[in-house]
Chain A
Amino acid sequence: MPDLGAYAFEVSLAYAGSLLALGIVIWASVARAARVRRTLDEAEKRWSNKNG
């Protein structure tokens, strides 16, 4: 860990907050992509079963 001197709190806070925000947007995007894909697969299967 580098010596951040008097600004250790500010630098750590900036990194923690930014990485958290990036993590949330990545997680939300990937989770929604998986959920929509799964639901669409089920709906397409249902639709093709019903309509041959």
Chain B
Amino acid sequence: MSFWEYANPRRFMAVTDRVVGPSFVLAGVLITTGLIWGFFFTPDDFRQGSTVKIIYLHVPSAMMAINIWIMMLVTSLVWLIRRHHVSALAAKAAAPIGVTMTLIALFTGAVWGQPMWGTYWAWDPRLTSFLILFLFYLGYMALWAAIEDPDTAADLTSILCLVGSVFALLSRYAVNFWNQGLHQGASLSLDKEENISDVFWFPLLACIAGFILLFIALVLLRTRTEIRARRLHAITLRERSA
């Protein structure tokens, strides 16, 4: 079976119908486990004190904020190249989840920054590129809402997504490009060096897995809703013209 069969809305609806519920349940279990484990059963950090507990929300949300935009980039490219409507609707469906994740990352970062850095905000490369990513999310959603013709909206938002991808990647790698700024290096990386102690790592891993599954559940649910909304729109137009 070809991957492109999922571009058929009927096939997409049939397959995802079985995935959404279990994804929600598993996401709930993992996030609850990770947060309870991290909040109640991990020690304070020797430098950060109890604010280290904010990591269980900040890191997964920041990670998702960037990766959701990358997912939107991929689905936007699929729309631009192959004109599959489901992929354009999946990008549209992902944006409100992405903006929520970006907001959580900015908010928890600011709340953590005040006691640790002595300020809620600094024009640090990573923070600034994250703020611009947040504005791109808002602009992307506003553009979808502003254009009535869905295909034109999908075309223009896809172009916006391509442009915004620069900031999504920049917010991921800004700490490596510039050595200035307050934000520390990545908590998660593929290098062999230990960036985070195991005692914090395992509950963090549960939270990350939970956030990924929550995104999958939400984006599938929202894409299904967009497909139904488009069908509803088509019926309404047919009723008017009949």
Q: What residues of A have a CB within 8 angstroms of the CB of B44 in the complex? A: 5
With contact pairs A17-B108, A36-B232 given, residues A5 and B50 touching in the complex (Cβ less than 8 Å):
yes
Contact between A14 and B108, CB atoms less than 8 A apart: yes
Tell me if B's interface is mostly helix, strand, loop or mixed: helix
Would you give the 0/1 interface string for A20-49, flagging 1 where the beta carbon is closer than 8 Å to chain B? 011011101110110011011001101100
Q: How many contacts A-B (CB < 8 Å)?
A: 99
A-contacting residues of B (Cβ < 8 Å)? 35, 39-40, 44, 49-51, 53-54, 57-58, 61, 96-97, 100, 103-104, 107-108, 111-112, 114-115, 214, 218, 221-222, 224-225, 228-229, 231-232, 235-236, 238-239, 242
Q: What residues of B have a CB within 8 angstroms of the CB of A40 in the complex? A: 228-229, 231-232, 235
Contact between B218 and A26, CB atoms less than 8 A apart: yes
Contact between A10 and B115, CB atoms less than 8 A apart: yes
Size of chain A's interface in residues, with CB distance under 8 A?
33
B-contacting residues of A (Cβ < 8 Å)? 2-8, 10-11, 13-15, 17-18, 21-22, 24-26, 28-30, 32-33, 36-37, 39-40, 43-44, 46-47, 50
Contact between A18 and B107, CB atoms less than 8 A apart: yes
Which 3 A-B residue pairings sit nearest by Cβ, starting from the closest? Answer: A4-B50, A25-B100, A18-B57
Q: What residues of B have a CB within 8 angstroms of the CB of A50 in the complex? A: 239, 242
A15–B54 alpha-carbon span in the complex (Å): 7
A43–B238 alpha-carbon span in the complex (Å): 11
Sample of 22 A–B contacts (CB below 8 Å): A2-B50, A4-B50, A6-B115, A7-B50, A14-B108, A15-B53, A15-B54, A18-B57, A18-B104, A21-B103, A21-B104, A22-B104, A28-B96, A29-B97, A29-B218, A30-B221, A33-B224, A36-B225, A36-B229, A40-B232, A43-B235, A43-B236
